[in-house]
């Protein structure tokens, strides 16, 4: 994984022994986790817990910006906890929690709303995109979402935020908000950097390679819970390009469909783009598409099986997210208290 190079300003006490660098990230349980979520950020998280002090959460408050079916939301949050663990996040080595279990997120979110400008929120591409898709429900939460996301991040003073390419703008605005706040009150927040993978950071839809893979287009989206036959069907039907060349070559501008499949195959197998081009030289798309499907089936099989096993043990999952919320709250409340004091709120 390649990280962006621009050093941040530290708000930590420099007299202390240097602690492990910290990372934080979250995923919205607004639909089943999909291959984009997995290949973009999630599959890198288990390596990170060995080196960094990591916090990973279910961004359930964020899902409320779009109407949710309550029972389905609860089920997805629990499934996502199981999937985090099944993907290799050892709860003994990192902190796994549910956003709404740590009230400091909403509390700091409000404060940061007051340090975030209307103009900058209006420029957010995700807001524009979601507002155009949910015209009947362009609510205030959808608009101020980036300030809550900034709160999610800044509460934990992380060095890095591992995300996919589509979240880069939200990490940028988080940095701007932190710098604005620090500019007024001194170094309260560490200003974090986005941490974006080189391969897999923008997985495109299988049936519409011009759009990113997302929960809103199920046929173009492979979820972590999909059965092998469904995964194979989606890959066999994947849109490839109408060029006459019909060879497996990585060229995102000319051949977005095939290039997306190459990216997925590379991320799933660890092979380079050049090796993949050689492997399928002289073969048409007909051989390539099922090969990518099979690689993904094998990649996701252990995750699906382990998730099912974990979901049968609800008390274990509960113990994980309870312990996570406790640890996260301790850290988050410290930052929140500092912020409240700085802005002039009376301590209780
Ligand atoms: P969300 O839930 O849309 O996506 C979760 C993560 O998956 C990445 N991702 C993708 N990566 C590659 N290809 C794709 N097609 C693809 N689709 C999604 C996203 O970039 C993200 O890393 N606002 C966030 C959730 C959030 C958050 C946070 C993240 C809330 N607070 C604090 C980090 C830190 C979101 O909606 O991601």
CA of 27 to the centre of ligand 1 (A): 5
d(CA 138, CA 307): 35
Mean pLDDT of 271-298: 95
CA of 287 to the centre of ligand 1 (A): 32
Helix (H, G, I), strand (E, B) or coil at 231: helix
pLDDT at 313: 98
Least confident of 1-5, 39-43, 236-240, 304-308: 1-5
| Cβ neighbours of 330 (radius 10 Å) | 11
Mean pLDDT of the chain: 93
- What is the reported pTM? 0.93
CA of 344 to the centre of ligand 1 (A): 34
Mean pLDDT of 302-329: 98
CA angle 123, 146, 213 (to 5 degrees): 80
* Nearest ligand 1 atom to alpha carbon 30: 2
* Among the listed residues 15, 54, 342, 329, the one whose alpha carbon sits nearest the alpha carbon of residue 187: 342
* Among the listed residues 203, 193, 206, the one whose alpha carbon sits nearest the alpha carbon of residue 240: 206
- Which residue has better confidence, 234 or 13? 234
pLDDT at 99: 98
Which protein residue has the closest C-alpha to ligand 1 atom 17?
36
Candidate of 23, 127, 164 to mutate for ligand 1, largest count of ligand atoms within 8 Å of Cβ = 164
Mean pLDDT of 175-189: 98
Candidate of 29, 125, 166 to mutate for ligand 1, largest count of ligand atoms within 8 Å of Cβ = 166
pLDDT at 81: 98
Q: Residues with beta carbon inside 6 Å of ligand 1?
A: 24-28, 36-37, 40-41, 59, 62, 149, 152-153, 161, 163-164, 166-167, 170, 201-203, 212-213
pLDDT at 125: 95
DSSP 228: H
d(CA 293, CA 291): 5
So which residues are the catalytic ones? Answer: 130, 212, 215
CA of 73 to the centre of ligand 1 (A): 17
Structural domains in the chain?
Answer: 20-201+314-343 (3.40.50.620), 226-311 (1.10.240.10)
Which protein residue has the closest C-alpha to ligand 1 atom 14?
36
Mean pLDDT of 38-51: 95
Across 10-19, 111-120, 212-221, 282-291, which has the greatest mean pLDDT? 111-120
pLDDT at 17: 60
Which protein residue has the closest C-alpha to ligand 1 atom 31?
149
CA of 162 to the centre of ligand 1 (A): 9
Burial (CB < 10 A; 0-12, 13-18, 19+), residue 90, is exposed
Candidate of 25, 27, 38 to mutate for ligand 1, largest count of ligand atoms within 8 Å of Cβ = 27
pLDDT at 15: 56
pLDDT, tens digit (0-9, with 9 covering 90-100), for 51-104: 999 999 999 999 999 999 999 999 999 999 999 999 999 999 999 999 999 999
């Amino acid at each position: 994984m390649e990280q962006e190079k621009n050093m941040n300003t530290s708000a930590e006490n420099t007299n202390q022994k240097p602690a492990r660098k910290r990372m934080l990230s979250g995923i919205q349980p607004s639909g089943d986790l999909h291959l984009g979520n997995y290949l973009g950020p999630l599959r890198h998280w288990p390596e990170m817990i060995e080196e960094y002090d990591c916090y990973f959460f279910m961004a359930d408050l964020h899902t409320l910006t779009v109407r949710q079916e309550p029972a389905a939301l609860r089920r997805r949050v629990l499934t996502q906890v199981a999937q985090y663990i099944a993907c290799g996040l050892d709860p003994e080595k990192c902190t796994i929690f549910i956003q709404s279990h740590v009230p400091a997120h909403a509390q700091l979110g409000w404060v940061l709303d007051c340090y975030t400008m209307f103009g900058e929120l209006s420029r957010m591409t995700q807001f524009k995109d979601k507002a155009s898709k949910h015209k009947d429900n362009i609510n205030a939460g959808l608009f101020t979402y980036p300030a809550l996301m900034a709160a999610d991040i800044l509460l934990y003073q992380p060095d890095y935020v591992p995300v996919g390419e589509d979240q880069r703008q939200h990490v940028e605005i988080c940095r701007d908000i932190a710098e604005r706040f620090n500019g007024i009150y001194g170094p309260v927040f560490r200003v974090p950097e986005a941490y974006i993978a080189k391969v897999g950071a923008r997985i495109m839809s299988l049936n519409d390679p011009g759009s990113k893979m997302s929960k809103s287009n199920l046929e173009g989206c492979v979820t972590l819970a999909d059965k092998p036959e469904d995964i194979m069907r989606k890959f066999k039907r994947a849109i490839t390009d109408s060029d006459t060349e019909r060879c497996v070559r990585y060229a995102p501008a000319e051949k977005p469909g095939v290039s997306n499949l190459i990216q997925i195959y590379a991320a799933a197998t660890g092979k380079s783009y050049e090796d993949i081009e050689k492997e399928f030289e002289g073969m048409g798309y007909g051989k390539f598409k099922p090969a990518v499907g099979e690689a993904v089936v094998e990649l996701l099989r252990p995750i699906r099986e382990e998730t099912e096993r974990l979901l049968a043990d609800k008390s274990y999952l509960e113990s994980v997210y309870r312990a996570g919320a406790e640890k996260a709250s301790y850290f988050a409340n410290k930052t929140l208290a500092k912020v409240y004091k700085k802005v002039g709120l009376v301590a209780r």
